[in-house]
Chains A and B, each alone.
Chain A
Amino acid sequence: DAGVIQSPRHEVTEMGQEVTLRCKPISGHNSLFWYRQTMMRGLELLIYFNNNVPIDDSGMPEDRFSAKMPNASFSTLKIQPSEPRDSAVYFCASAQDRDQPQHFGDGTRLSIL
C-alpha cells in the first residue's frame, strides 16, 4: 500500500514568494496532520483535520499560514508571503481515525532565502 505522499520533496524559494506544500494521505484514513520540524523547536503540530474538517489550528504560527483539505485524498499547506524563518521540514501524517497511530510522509524540506 502507498504511504503518505508529499510533494515537493525539496523547495527553495525567495522570501516573499508563495509556497504550497501538498499531501495525499493513506486511502481510508480520516485524520490528517501537518507538522513542522526544526532543530530548535523539534516537531510541532500546525493543524489537523478530521473528515476533511479543520479541528485544531492553534499551532499555525501566523496568518501567513493556511491549510485546506478539499477532499479526503488531498491537502495543502500554503505560506504567503514566505519568510526565511519558515525554513524547516514540513511533514504530513494521516491516521485511520482520531485515536489511531499516525503515519508520516517523507516531508518537504523548505528553504526560504
Chain B
Amino acid sequence: GEDVEQSLFLSVREGDSSVINCTYTDSSSTYLYWYKQEPGAGLQLLTYIFSNMDMKQDQRLTVLLNKKDKHLSLRIADTQTGDSAIYFCAEGDSGYSTLTFGKGTMLLVSP
C-alpha cells in the first residue's frame, strides 16, 4: 500500500530557514499536501502542489517536488516561534478521495 515517510523532529533558531522533508511511494499520486497542527487543534491546510508542478511559493512557504525521487519538501523562510507545530505531509490520488498521511514532523523554533 501507499506509504508516506517523514523525519520525526526538527529544531531551528528563530530567523533561520526550516526544511521539512517527506518521501512517498505511490507513483500515481496526483496531489501532495502540507498540513500544520498546533497543540489541541485540528490540521490546518498550509499549501498543496499538483504532481505536474516542481515548485510552489506562497509567502514564506516554498514547496519543492521531485517526482522522480518521490520527494517533497516544505521550506519555511524566516522561521518564527509561532511556526512551532507538527507538520504533516499527505498524498492523494485523483482517482480516490482518500489521503495517506505521514506521521508528522515536530518543528521546534527556539528564540
Give residues in B with beta carbon < 8 Å to A. Answer: 30-31, 33, 35, 40-45, 48, 88, 92, 94, 96-99, 101-104
Contact = CB atoms under 8 A, between A and B. Distances in A.
Interface magnitude class on chain A: 20 to 34
B45 A103 contact: yes
Contacts, number: 49
A60 to B, nearest CB: 13
Interface stretch (A14-22, A63-71, A76-84, A94-102): A94-102
16 contacts: A31-B97, A42-B102, A42-B104, A45-B99, A48-B97, A55-B97, A91-B42, A91-B43, A98-B97, A99-B94, A101-B45, A102-B99, A106-B41, A106-B42, A107-B42, A109-B40
User: Top 10 closest A-B pairs, CB basis?
Assistant: A104-B42, A98-B97, A104-B43, A43-B101, A106-B42, A42-B103, A99-B94, A107-B42, A105-B42, A101-B45
Contacts of A42: 101-104
B58 to A, nearest CB: 13
Contacts of A43: 43, 88, 101
B48 A101 contact: yes
